[in-house]
């Protein structure tokens, strides 16, 4: 195994593009090292991106959003008060991944590229309308987070593609987001279902919304019908009922040892309603 520490993302991309065997990018390593050890993955080239300038930084973008480096850990996000105040749902999703020790290393991009349909940080990013910057030989492109997962353990990234940053849009006035998941214990478990809601309000009326579901399909789902059910409402009981129904309708889960198909469908509705209420309260500034 060749261990590389490239100084730029362009170099990282070149190494990956030129590799004849399997490659892996290393940031937090909390999935890659487990795969290495289990013998699931034996990369010919392991490319550590942590020498690249800016990978540990969270910076305000010109338009008022955020640019998050690919090696920023869950713990770093939790300690970033401004980011957490604007995007609590994104941060709380990431903070549900693993233990304190794992939080010290695990990253948003790692969670995304591991390709788990149950990845806890991904619904929050999708609901937020987050983008990722992808670097390859052709240059740099910016694509929505929801275009990256392709199915369990798979992404749409091609050979030579490397994600070089996560970009959150400006939160703006009166916006709020939330992520909830169901697990049968209090922590350190994999989501049976997860749901994130991000919305903005104007005079208590929801003007824009995005709803994302995790662990109910081969990839995290952006559920436009669920968002449509609450846009233009004050999240009254009728809107919540319609939201729940839309989430249930979009859920296409499997039955496995974590939960049955029927249970997951019901959970999708319950979590969508609860997450929407939290996001709505946060947007209005009335969250407890």
Partner 1 sequence: MTKIHVSATVNGEAVEFLADPRESLLDCLRDHLGLTGSKEGCGTGDCGACSVQVDGTLVCSCLVLGAEAQGKQIQTVEGLAQGSALHPLQRKFIEHAALQCGFCTPGILVAAKALLEQNPDPTDEEVRFWLAGNLCRCTGYDKIVRAVQDAAAEMREAV
Query: How far is it, in rounded angstroms, from Cα 178 to Cα 57?
Result: 23
Using CB under 8 A as the binding rule, whether residue 71 contacts partner 1 is answered as: no
Q: Is 137 in the site for partner 1 (CB under 8 A)?
A: no
Query: For residue 71, what are the contacts with CB-CB under 8 A and spacing of at least 6?
Result: 27, 28, 49, 50, 55, 56, 107
129 binds partner 1 (CB under 8 A): no
Residue in 10, 17, 19, 36 binding partner 1, rule: CB under 8 A? 36
39 binds partner 1 (CB under 8 A): no
Q: Is 205 in the site for partner 1 (CB under 8 A)?
A: no
- Binding segment for partner 1 among 97-105, 121-129, 242-250, 256-264 (CB under 8 A)? 97-105
Among 187, 203, 257, 285, contact with partner 1 (rule: CB under 8 A): 187
Given 14, 17, 58, 104, the residue binding partner 1 (CB under 8 A)? 104
Position 75 contacts partner 1 (CB under 8 A): yes
Q: How many residues bind partner 1 (CB under 8 A)?
A: 25
- Name which of 121 and 200 has its Cβ closer to partner 1: 121
Give the Cα separation of 140 and 26 in Å (integer).
20
- Give the integer Cα–Cα distance in Å for 21 and 181: 37
48 in contact with partner 1 (CB under 8 A): yes
Binding partner 1 by CB under 8 A: which of 59, 140, 142, 188?
A: 188
Residues at the interface with partner 1 (CB under 8 A): 1-3, 26, 29-30, 33-34, 36-38, 46, 48, 50, 73, 75, 98-102, 104-105, 187-188
């Amino acid at each position: 195994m060749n261990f590389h520490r490239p100084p730029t993302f362009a170099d990282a991309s070149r190494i990956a593009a030129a590799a004849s065997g399997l490659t892996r990018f290393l940031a937090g390593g909390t999935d890659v090292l487990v795969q290495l050890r289990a013998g699931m993955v034996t990369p010919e080239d392991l490319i550590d991106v942590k020498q690249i300038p800016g990978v540990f930084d969270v910076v305000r973008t010109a338009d008022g959003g955020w640019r998050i480096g690919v090696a920023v850990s869950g713990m770093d996000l939790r300690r970033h008060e401004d980011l957490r105040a604007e995007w609590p749902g994104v941060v709380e999703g990431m903070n549900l991944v693993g233990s304190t020790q794992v939080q010290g290393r695990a990253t948003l991009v790692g969670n995304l590229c591991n390709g788990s349909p149950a990845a806890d940080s991904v619904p929050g990013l999708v609901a937020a309308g987050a983008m990722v910057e992808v670097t390859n030989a052709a240059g740099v492109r910016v694509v929505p987070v929801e275009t990256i997962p392709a199915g369990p353990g798979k992404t749409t990234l091609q050979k030579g593609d490397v994600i070089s940053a996560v970009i959150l849009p400006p939160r703006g006035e009166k916006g709020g987001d939330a992520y909830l998941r169901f697990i049968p214990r209090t922590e350190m478990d994999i989501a049976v279902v997860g749901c994130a809601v991000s919305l903005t309000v104007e005079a208590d009326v929801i003007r824009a919304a995005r709803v994302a579901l995790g662990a109910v399909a081969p990839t995290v789902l952006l559920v436009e019908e669920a968002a449509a059910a609450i846009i233009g409402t004050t999240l009254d009981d009728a809107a919540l009922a319609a939201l729940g129904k839309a989430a249930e309708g979009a859920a296409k889960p499997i039955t496995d040892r974590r939960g049955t198909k029927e249970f997951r469908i019901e959970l999708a509705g319950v979590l969508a309603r609860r997450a929407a209420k939290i996001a709505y309260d946060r947007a209005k500034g009335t969250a407890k």
